[in-house]
Structure 1
Amino acid sequence: MADRLIPRQALEYIRNKKLRPAFSYKDVWNEEHATAFTVAKAMQLDVLSDIKGAVEKAIENGTTFEQFKKELKPTLMQKGWWGKKKMTDPLTGETIAAQLGSDRRLKTIYSTNLRSAYQKGQYDRTMESDLHPYLMYRIGPSLRHREQHVRWNNLIRPKDDPIWNYIFPPNGYGCKCYTVAVTEARKQRYECDGVPAYDPGARKTVRVPVHTEAPKMTYKVYENVRKGIIERIPAGITPGFNWNQGKSDRVFSLMQALAKKLGADSDIANFDFLKTVYDNQIFRTSFQSFVDKSFSGQHKGTEITPAGFLNAAVVRWLKNNAGIDVGTNTVIGLESRLIKGIKATRHGIQKNDAEILLDTMLNGKVYWSRDGNGNKAKDSLVYLFPVNENEWFQIAVRPEAKVNGISAPFIRSVGYKPNSTIENMMNQLTEIK
């Protein structure tokens, strides 16, 4: 890993993770790893922080494992997190001889985190590229490979194929598999001539065939008793790795990609399609989960989720009347900091407001509000939707904003307004039709 270029996204992926002490690796499961940095039996925050800091440094500097171990091992030994010690499982009350730090565990921590971060960066760059519509699965330089991983070697499938939700590497501890972004022209060349691969027996590079047909998946049932989860896991995938490292936390980016494909000047059919996507129960459940996690404190304020989109009429009006060209950035984002469970923000929403917020975004009337003091930075779109006979729900949206490096319209405030206030507001707003 040290000799590979680490994308910026890879370092941010690790840096944005929050410390999550856990007794067992089963306590933090699948997609939870996207936002949580954890090491089994590392129950002390200072120990976990030291390990995370060392991983971040290794990713940023391309540090070899030997250097990583040399710098981290003395610190862990000094703090008593080394060798075997008796620990009590907080879930079961059982006392066991727990393995804390060891050279082997450091190797696992190093390789798993670096490879996960690299693949996250690789996935982000591939999904953002219009030139690379495919991903190719490649096995790594291990002496021995898992049988199923060998079968997936040199598999080329569209980058949005659902199969990557299950087999995107790494797919287990010590797995060195990775993906490569592939253009249409390169895919055709590989299909014709094969892909170059080093043959250790012949000690030279040869060309081996690729395969493009979706493989037939077989599954096994696995129960994580600590989480109360029973799931079907594809053969060849280690339990706990049954998720896409790259796709995690990419709901917003995926919605942006969908809106971009449809075009900013979407016709009514495309508008109805996007509306159907946002109104789908699966999306609504995901949105409610985002609100719940923000309210409970699992989200810390910097996370974002799609909450709506600018339709074609709004996009054209902004360009022609407000001099604002949003381009293809039409997906409207909501920051978790606006959920009132995080802090007492007067512009935030309550836990039970998720449904009405989406209804307002999809079905509300849209207006343009100019700042009374002429500050264009405070000009905003206003979405209004009647809640009952006495009040309305109001959402103010900044049409141009940048949050966490993402340029898009973002919600700036939400709230309920009585009829009298709305009537006065409408006299000062410009309706967009």
Structure 2
Amino acid sequence: MPGVSEGAVPFVEAIAHLRDRLALSDSDWQALLRGAAGRADEIVDAQAEAMGRDLLATAAEIFEAGGTPADFRKQYDGIAQRYGWVSAGDPGWHSNLIWRMETGNARAAGRWEQAQQLQRARPTVRYFFRYVTAGDHRVRDTHREWHGIVLPIDHWFWLTHFPPNGFNCRCHVMTVSERDLVRYGWTVTHDSDRRLAIPPDEGFSGNVGIAWGRLRG
């Protein structure tokens, strides 16, 4: 099967995204995201930016080492206690949310950059993104609608709908060529397809890959 599966990462570009992310304050990163059409970041109190940065640094270290959400959870409690922060809900849920948001954004930014590099290396080949959901009962109805959408990697749809498209979103894209489309019987989605007009979850109408590109200059 073409493309990069969710389990095939961390990869170099995703790790680089997290490292670059650590060089910015949360407010500066949010400004970059708004410039890329706006995307919500991890849920962290604005007054606890130091705690947020410690969580990000820990997530980056564990992600680079090939760790798991369980590894992050072990570190999460110690960081929260150090800052005297108590979750209003289930700490495990909040820990998993932060892990999924940070690593999901890293994977998305890395996948975007990989596709751009591929297109630059092979300018005569046309590449597309194919939207893929987790395919189970937990997939949101709107996200399920997008499953199977195939559009050029420079299509306007990806400016606002490049996953993740919501908190705890498990969607991703596959990078495919015209040859892949023929091989698997996939067709390019028409611009008039009603699914393209379905908005992403509130606060997620952006593209972390583009924001990361702006950060890197």
Equivalent in the alignment of 2:16:
12
Q: Secondary structure at the match of 1:44?
A: helix
Equivalent in the alignment of 1:242:
205
Match of 1:31 among 27, 30, 33: 33
Which runs of 5 or more residues in structure 2 are unaligned?
none
Give percent identity, aligned residues only.
20
- Indicate the structure whose relative CO is greater, using CA pairs within 8 Å and at least 6 residues apart: 2
* 1:176 corresponds to 2:154: no
Equivalent in the alignment of 1:353:
none
Change (3 A) 1:127 1:32: same
Looking at structure 2, the residues matched to 65 and 139 of structure 1 have their Cα atoms a distance apart, in angstroms, of 20
Residue identity opposite 1:188 in structure 2: V
Q: Deviations over 1:274-322 (max 9, x none)?
A: xxxxxxxxxxxxxxxxxxxxxxxxxxxx853xxxxxxxxxxxxxxxxxx
What's the offset of the Cα at 1:213?
2.1
Equivalent in the alignment of 1:122:
111
* 1:53 corresponds to 2:69: no
Residue identity opposite 1:20 in structure 2: D
Q: Secondary structure at the match of 1:179?
A: strand
Q: Deviations over 1:321-357 (max 9, x none)?
A: xxxxxxxxxxxxxxxxxxxxxxxxxxxxxxxxxxxxx
Looking at structure 1, the residues matched to 50 and 211 of structure 2 have their Cα atoms a distance apart, in angstroms, of 27
Looking at structure 2, the residues matched to 53 and 37 of structure 1 have their Cα atoms a distance apart, in angstroms, of 15
Looking at structure 2, the residues matched to 78 and 64 of structure 1 have their Cα atoms a distance apart, in angstroms, of 22
Change (3 A) 1:30 1:21: closer
What's the offset of the Cα at 1:43?
2.0
TM-score normalized with structure 1 length: 0.42
**Which runs of structure 2 are paired with 1:9-158 in the superposition (5 Å)?**
9-17=13-21, 18-20=24-26, 28=30, 31-32=33-34, 39-41=43-45, 43-84=47-88, 102-129=91-118, 130=122, 131=125, 133-158=127-152
Change (3 A) 1:125 1:65: same
Looking at structure 1, the residues matched to 27 and 42 of structure 2 have their Cα atoms a distance apart, in angstroms, of 6
Looking at structure 1, the residues matched to 85 and 205 of structure 2 have their Cα atoms a distance apart, in angstroms, of 29
Looking at structure 2, the residues matched to 150 and 30 of structure 1 have their Cα atoms a distance apart, in angstroms, of 28
Q: Secondary structure at the match of 2:209?
A: coil
Which runs of 5 or more residues in structure 1 are unaligned?
85-98, 195-209, 219-233, 252-301, 305-433
Q: Secondary structure at the match of 2:173?
A: strand
Looking at structure 2, the residues matched to 249 and 63 of structure 1 have their Cα atoms a distance apart, in angstroms, of 23
Q: Secondary structure at the match of 1:246?
A: helix
TM-score normalized with structure 2 length: 0.79
Q: Does structure 2 retain, via aligned residues, the 8 Å contact 1:30–1:243?
A: no
Q: Secondary structure at the match of 2:130?
A: strand
What's the offset of the Cα at 1:169?
0.4
Residue identity opposite 1:74 in structure 2: G
Residue identity opposite 1:118 in structure 2: R
- Considering only aligned residues, what root-mean-square deviation do their CA atoms show, in Å? 3.1
Residue identity opposite 1:31 in structure 2: L
Looking at structure 1, the residues matched to 6 and 85 of structure 2 have their Cα atoms a distance apart, in angstroms, of 26
Q: Which structure has greater helix proportion?
A: 2
Give the total of aligned pairs: 202
Q: Does structure 2 retain, via aligned residues, the 8 Å contact 1:11–1:59?
A: yes
Match of 1:159 among 153, 159, 169: 153
Change (3 A) 1:43 1:4: farther
Q: Which structure has greater strand proportion?
A: 1
Residue identity opposite 1:138 in structure 2: V
**Which runs of structure 2 are paired with 1:368-387 in the superposition (5 Å)?**
none
Residue identity opposite 1:151 in structure 2: E
Q: Deviations over 1:71-106 (max 9, x none)?
A: 22123123211234xxxxxxxxxxxxxx6x822111
Looking at structure 2, the residues matched to 142 and 29 of structure 1 have their Cα atoms a distance apart, in angstroms, of 34
Looking at structure 1, the residues matched to 161 and 20 of structure 2 have their Cα atoms a distance apart, in angstroms, of 24
What's the offset of the Cα at 1:109?
0.7
Change (3 A) 1:110 1:2: farther
Change (3 A) 1:216 1:53: same
Looking at structure 2, the residues matched to 117 and 68 of structure 1 have their Cα atoms a distance apart, in angstroms, of 15
Residue identity opposite 1:14 in structure 2: L
Looking at structure 1, the residues matched to 170 and 95 of structure 2 have their Cα atoms a distance apart, in angstroms, of 16
